[in-house]
A and B are shown apart, each in its own frame.
Chain A
Amino acid sequence: MGNLGIIFKRELYSYFATPLAYVFIVIFLITNGIFTFDLGGFFLRGQADLLPFFGFHPWLYLFMVPAIAMTLWADERKTGTIELLLTLPVRLVDAVLGKFLAAWVLTGIALALTFPIWVTVNYLGDPDNGVIVAAYLGSWFMAGGFLAIGSCMSACTKNSVIAFILTVAICFLFVIMGSPILLNAFPSWVPQWLVDAFSAMGFLTHFDSIAKGVLDIRDFLFFSVFIGAWLLASAIVIEMKKAN
């Protein structure tokens, strides 16, 4: 096992050594239930799919994911353990990736624990399970996008509350970028290519098609590149700001 794996294990372990992981998972499941059954009208729709379930994920992640991401680096800087970690024979990329992956796996575990709803929809009807698997994967990748932003914001400050607020703000921007409300608000003199580019950066643009079962590898590629770019930015920010 390389250093990446060792750091990943330590981080994941520390989520479960404190109540954080349990609180996160429980709240995630409860809010998911409320959104799906109450606001989403899961039963009233009379359709055997999980569209109302996945449809709320961007908005759920908007507040849940920054809460786990906020401590990633802010706490290391606050307690001074960053000095310990980065003077060990560890490459910065292993540290950044190891921490990110641990948080990503935590969101994955929370997401996987929503399986009863999948069981339910299969019991009640005959859904397209391929679409559901793709939507789960897409949702997890989107959570990764939120987390990568959070990793970078957490590296910017010693204060995890500030990291939380910054992450929510930036994530919100990326969520609404692709929404029709925002796109229609562009005045007509703005060239179409700019509107398209703007829309292409939006989370909803990519996630909506995945959730509806349009499995396009480009949507996954978007989230992968997005995660990579924000993690790279995290590493640069850590390198720049570790002194203070």
Chain B
Amino acid sequence: MIEISHLTKKFDQFVAVDDLSFSVREGEVLGFLGPNGAGKSTTMKVITGFLAPSAGKVTIDGHDISSAALQAKRLIGYLPEGAPSYGDMTTLEFLRFIAQIRGFRGAEIEQRVDHVINEVALESVRDQSIETLSKGFKRRVGLAQAIMHDPKVLILDEPTDGLDPNQKHHVRALIKSLATDKIVIVSTHILEEVTAVCSRAVIIANGKIVADGTPAELESQSRFHQAIRVTLTDSHDLLADLKAVPGVASVEVAESNGLAYTIFAEGGASIFSQVSEVAQQKHWPISEFHVERGQLEDVFRSVTQQSEGRANG
């Protein structure tokens, strides 16, 4: 379990992380979200022991990252932002170096290296020097390095940044498969990733937590939650039909051709039955009709902008 309590990190006068507290349990995949400069990377650098906190503390399974750094670091696998690695080494040499540093000896070294090479599909570039690899391969070398010792805690700073859709899919599947008995913290600004792999999402802005919950919980905070999206084949005056329907908050034209509408629900209550009833009675020329779960992007924007408003005001 990772416990972060009252963590603050200042750079001179600038407060990058401001009194942050949360904990992550085994089996959780935590999506760490926030606008650029919100303090995501700084928080990860403090959790992994690269930077010392200005105040507060971080413990990994009871080991304080400041006072018991080596014990804590042994439990962590970390992919830093940009997946840095030694460019003059080949993939194999670099991974062997990591395996040795991680304490493997003799035959174990080859065994672990072969295992991670398999896991992230690096066979084709085993003997190529890292500086000649494409961005996607470099990122995978970074991932391989992070999972070398089958760590209890995996911290990945933007693991899919710069990958093509196939590679992204592969990395997400990998994270999911690793996650069962581990703690995984993934920072990203790709919101679909959160819904795809994370069991929990924490949004930070200006170094503070502004939202924390399962992706579904966060989606339900969206004004699109329970909203109904209707696409028509022909124009029809929905507004008039819906005026008297209880629970409907408002109706907006979703596409400029005037055939797609979003019907918003009042207070996030379900309005599916009411609206579908009206649609049948009034014979709407419907081609598509579905209930929105809510949009994470919408929640993200509203919570981070609120925070910015507070910070500036």
> Is residue B145 contacting chain A, with contact meaning CB distance below 8 A?
yes
Q: Tell me which of A33-41, A77-85, A104-112, A185-193 binds B.
A: A77-85
Chain A contacts for B48, CB-based, 8 A: 87
Q: Tell me the bound Cα distance from A87 to B11 in angstroms.
A: 20
Whether, in the assembled complex, A117 has its beta carbon less than 8 Å from a beta carbon of chain B, the answer is no
Q: Is the CB of B84 within 8 A of A79?
A: yes
Pairwise interchain contact B82-A80, C-beta atoms closer than 8 A: yes
Chain A proximity of B99: nearest CB distance (Å): 10
With an 8 A cutoff between CB atoms, is B73 at the interface? yes
- Alpha-carbon distance between A88 and B78 when the two chains are bound, in angstroms: 8
Chain A residue with the shortest CB-CB distance to B94: A10
Chain B residues near A7: list those with CB within 8 A.
Answer: 101
**Bound-complex Cα distance A12 to B45 (A):** 28
Interface residues of B in 63-91 (CB under 8 A from A): 70, 73-74, 76, 78, 80-82, 84-89
- Contact (A6, B97) CB under 8 Å given A14-B89, A87-B50: yes
Whether the Cβ atoms of A6 and B73 lie closer than 8 Å is: no
A89-B74, A243-B11 known; A81-B86 Cβ under 8 A: yes
Q: Known interface pairs A84-B80, A84-B145, A87-B48. Does A14 touch B101 (Cβ–Cβ under 8 Å)?
A: no
The size bracket of the interface on B is: 20 to 34
Indicate if the CB atoms of B84 and A89 lie closer than 8 Å: no
Contact-size category for A: 20 to 34
Closest beta carbon of chain B to A64's beta carbon, Å: 21
The B-contacting residues of A in range 1-47, CB under 8 angstroms, are 1, 3, 6-7, 10, 13-14, 17-18
A13→B92 CA distance, assembly (Å) = 14
Q: Using known A-B contacts A10-B97, A88-B73, determine if residue A83 contacts B80 with beta carbons closer than 8 Å.
A: yes
Q: Which residues of A contact B84 (CB under 8 A)?
A: 79-81, 83-84
A89 touches B11 (CB 8 A): no
Q: Which residues does chain A contribute within 8 Å of B98, judged by CB atoms? A: 88
Q: CB of B51 within 8 A of chain A?
A: yes
Contact with A along B123-142 (1 / 0, CB 8 A): 00000000000000000000
B221: min CB distance to chain A, Å: 34
Q: Are B85 and A81 in contact (CB under 8 A)?
A: yes
B247 at the interface (CB under 8 A from A): no
The answer, among A3, A80, A242, for a CB contact under 8 Å with B80, is: A80
Distance in Å: Cβ of B40 to nearest Cβ of chain A: 14
**Chain A hits for B302, CB < 8 A:** none
Cβ of B102 within 8 Å of any chain A Cβ, yes or no, is yes
Most B Cβ at <10 Å: residue of A7, A18, A79, A87: A87
B residues less than 8 Å from A86 (CB atoms)? 49-50
Closest to B11 in A: A243
A17, B88: Cβ atoms under 8 Å?
Answer: yes
Measured CA separation A7–B145 after assembly (Å): 16
Q: Please encode chain B, from 233 to 245, with 1 for each CB lying within 8 Å of some chain A CB and 0 for all others.
A: 0000000000000
**B86 pairs with A89, CB closer than 8 A:** no
CA distance A244 to B42 in the complex (A): 11
Q: Are A87 and B78 in contact (CB under 8 A)?
A: yes
B51 partner, pick from A14, A80, A243, beta carbons under 8 A: A243
Q: Is the CB of A88 within 8 A of B101?
A: yes
A90 within 8 A of B: yes
Question: Which residues of A sit under 8 angstroms from B85, Cβ to Cβ?
Answer: 81, 84
Q: A79-B84, A83-B50 are in contact. Are A6 and B78 (CB under 8 A)?
A: no
Cross-chain contact B51 with A89 (CB below 8 angstroms)? no
* A84–B76 CA distance with the chains assembled, in angstroms: 12
Rounded to whole angstroms, the CA-CA distance of A81 and B89 in the bound complex is 13
Which residues of chain B are near A83, meaning CB under 8 Å?
Answer: 45, 50, 80, 84
Tell me the bound Cα distance from A10 to B93 in angstroms: 9
Q: Which has the most chain B C-beta neighbours within 10 Å: A80, A83, A91, A242?
A: A83
Considering the complex, which residues of chain A in the window 91-113 have a beta carbon less than 8 Å from any beta carbon of chain B? 91
Q: A80 to B78: give the CA distance in the assembly, Å.
A: 13
B100 interfacial by beta-carbon distance below 8 Å: yes
A residues near B74, Cβ cutoff 8 Å: 89
In the assembled complex, the Cα of A18 lies from the Cα of B86 at a distance in Å of 12
Q: How far is the CA of A83 from the CA of B81 in the complex (A)?
A: 9
Closest beta carbon of chain A to B52's beta carbon, Å: 8
- In the complex, the 10 A-B pairs of residues with the closest C-beta atoms, listed nearest first: A80-B84, A89-B73, A83-B80, A87-B48, A81-B84, A6-B100, A89-B74, A87-B78, A89-B70, A14-B88
By a beta-carbon cutoff of 8 Å, the part of chain B in contact with chain A is: 11, 45, 48-51, 70, 73-74, 76, 78, 80-82, 84-89, 93, 97-98, 100-103, 145
5 A-B contacts (beta carbon < 8 Å): A14-B88, A84-B145, A86-B50, A87-B49, A89-B74
